Structure 1
Amino acid sequence: DYCGVNFACATNSATSALHIACLALGVGESDIVWTSPISFVASANCALYCGAKVDFVDIDLDTGNMSPSALEQKLISAKKTDSLPKVVIPVHLAGQSCDMQAIYQLATKYDFKIIEDASHAIGAKYFDKPVGNCEFSDICVFSFHPVKIITSAEGGMAVTNNEELAKLLKRLRSHGITSDPDEMTELSHGPWYYQQIDLGFNYRMTELQAALGLSQLKELDQFVAERNKLANIYTNEFKNLPISHLHQSSQSYSSYHLYIIRLTGDAVKKHKELICSLREHNITSHLHYIPIHIQPYYQALGFKKSDFPNAIEYYHSALTIPLHPKLTNLEQDYIIKTIIEFL
């Protein structure tokens, strides 16, 4: 109901949800899946789990999200070599939706399916509608990992407006088993009867996890509003520093799962030094993310660091600073002061 979508399938993680989403869309050994290089590795691994090949689409440096123009150029080239993707997985980095309308238009033209990786984006909006309504995608995936905006201790969810996809997702998360007589190959022997009709997995979310997640849902809008308030403070305080922020497009309302800054000019040379300095001041700073294609496993698959230059430029300049609803004014002031003094 929250997302305005017809069907939902809760899982034990967003990684599991991405895996079965790919399977539900028929991804297999002869297929190619494209995603963003700036994401957690699960956004790409899910394709490999299915035996498919994976490739990446470079990001827009202004937003950190998949670039629709880069996607279009890559599709034009792929069509010439008959190597179009079966599925594209845009990743809503830090909680801001990708330009899903533009990506959907390309999907219509080039005949690929879309899985939104909205692991960061529960509570976000796109064109004033909740991310997850699947207006511009086949399936959308959320994460309820412990560090996410709401958590079920660990968990995920795949949502869709397609009833057949929803039925398949629910079978795949539970060993491929069904108790629905309409899905069986013969008449049911009774209310106790079940059949395994697919090869599935033990990807179910427990009732305890579900209860924990549901207990926070009523507070989601408040959580997101507080995150936006804190993000705006950061943006205003850093406006005279050699820092750029992930551009917030007019059609999007970010859930601000993360607050990411990028150093500019000569300050880029101090990138690693700043991360280490913040940690020395007991301020937890991270880098979301190391580009997937430069991970050793993906390097062994033949990817080169130079394949996606924007992702590399982002990697050498970006860092994440603390942002959560319980961040106090005193704590945020300390973070701001420490960064200003360093730069």
Structure 2
Amino acid sequence: MIPYGKQDIRQSDIDAVVEVLKSDFLTQGPAVPRFEQAVASHVGAKHAIAVNSATSALHIACLALGLKAGDWLWTSPVTFVASANCGLYCGANIDFVDIDPVSYNLCPKALEKKLAVAEQQNRLPKVVVAVHLCGQPCDMAAIHSLSKRYGFAVIEDASHAIGGKYRGEFIGNGRYSDITVFSFHPVKIVTTAEGGLALTQNSDLARQMDQLRSHGITRDPALMSRESDGPWYYQQTGLGYNYRMTDLQAALGASQMTRLDKYVSRRHELADEYDRLLANLPVKTPVQHPDGYSGRHLYVIRLRLDDINRTRREVFESLRAKGIGVNVHYIPVHTQPFYAQFGFQEGQYPNAENYYSEAISLPLFPGMSADDQREVVAALAEALGV
């Protein structure tokens, strides 16, 4: 099986983890801040807070921004469920903004129209989560401009996008958002096995997220409500969570970060080769906006179903039967049975649903060989009946 994604583990990664195993710290030791600094320095952020998953990072980001019951969080329907669920964890209401049919990201024009209506109804969002699907950045300048006009906070869900750029600057630098979130799941661009990270330029948001990831506890006397009893003393100043990253994970992540640029470059080489190999097949290849330099986490094609005598499921199952580990990213969140209780139903976001009906993610990972790629394309051509 050629998987759709696969981690790249080198001896240097193994050595970094073994070094931690031999040290005095396995959980919260020196490796976590080293990893945080490595990411923050790379992208140009002042603060980085490492946690046990990108979902946790989204949750504490929402909490730090004050999202609560009665508030609204808006996001794209084409994303993993965590981009919306993070709002529900805070007791907030969820709504969606349809995607741009070319970039597959949240559409700024649709957002602007929805905001104008919401303002009249007194139900503007407190937070908008802009998802950089497949690694391609959203139109962040437009979203940022709207956030200033309508007064909402912006979280960049950049789970697919570390190493990517927007307008020549690394995603995560916070120029157009309050908080950016990265994921380090094994199929992502770099991995910590499981893990996530929130970045911000705002010291107060960073302080809040730092406490929220560790039970709401602080040992900083300046943040305590009464005088310390002694050097052992700590205070719980709010309700936090056990979302901490371990030193084992952080050591792996710091080692992987040394190869980030090479990983992204290799992904671009593979994506460019897919563009060439697929040019004569009845599929739509992903369009890249000139303002962005994608992390190229996923390579999603859309089947030209009117030009083939096959369903998407038939093509998908044919590829799987040939050992090609294709996948689909993503089932629109508003069509999930859980979200029906909030009044969502099929037909509400047509661009998202049209995208989903045609989408297949082809294998893409740095260790993929030229032979692997040709095998994928040959199997796809056969599955399409051409």
TM-score (norm 1): 0.98
Structure 2: distance between partners of 1:241 and 1:108: 44
Q: CA deviation at 1:246?
A: 2.4
SS in 1 for 2:45: coil
Q: CA deviation at 1:224?
A: 0.5
Q: CA deviation at 1:267?
A: 4.1
Q: Cα deviation per residue 1:81-136 (whole Å; 9 max; x = unaligned)?
A: 01100000010000111010010000011110000000000111101111000100
Q: Verify: 1:316 aligned to 2:357, yes or no.
A: yes
Q: Verify: 1:280 aligned to 2:321, yes or no.
A: yes
Q: Verify: 1:295 aligned to 2:336, yes or no.
A: yes
Q: CA deviation at 1:266?
A: 1.1
1:32 is matched with 72
Identity of counterpart residues, as a percentage?
A: 53
> Residue 104 of structure 2 is aligned with which of 64, 67, 71?
64
Q: Which runs of 4+ in 1 moved over 6 A?
A: none
| One-letter identity of the residue aligned with 1:323 | L
Q: CA deviation at 1:272?
A: 1.3
Q: Verify: 1:336 aligned to 2:339, yes or no.
A: no
| One-letter identity of the residue aligned with 1:307 | Q
1:192 is matched with 232
Contact 1:90–1:115 (CA under 8 A) maintained in structure 2: yes
1:11 is matched with 51
> Residue 252 of structure 1 is aligned with which of 289, 292, 299?
292
Structure 2: distance between partners of 1:165 and 1:255: 26
SS in 1 for 2:231: coil
Matched residue count: 343
SS in 2 for 1:316: helix
| One-letter identity of the residue aligned with 1:91 | V
Contact 1:64–1:246 (CA under 8 A) maintained in structure 2: no
Structure 1: distance between partners of 2:288 and 2:44: 23
Structure 2: distance between partners of 1:246 and 1:61: 11
Q: Cα deviation per residue 1:279-325 (whole Å; 9 max; x = unaligned)?
A: 01000011000000000000122101111001110010011010001
2:271 is matched with 231
2:25 is matched with none
| One-letter identity of the residue aligned with 1:305 | E
Structure 2: distance between partners of 1:80 and 1:263: 40
Structure 1: distance between partners of 2:207 and 2:195: 19
Q: CA deviation at 1:265?
A: 4.8
Question: Which structure ranks higher in relative contact order (CA pairs < 8 Å, sequence separation ≥ 6)?
Answer: 2
Q: 1:298 to 1:267 in 2, by over 3 A?
A: farther
* RMSD value, Cα: 1.0
Structure 2: distance between partners of 1:227 and 1:132: 19
Gaps of 5+ in 1: none
> Residue 161 of structure 2 is aligned with which of 104, 110, 121?
121
SS in 2 for 1:211: helix
Gaps of 5+ in 2: 1-40
Structure 2: distance between partners of 1:330 and 1:255: 23
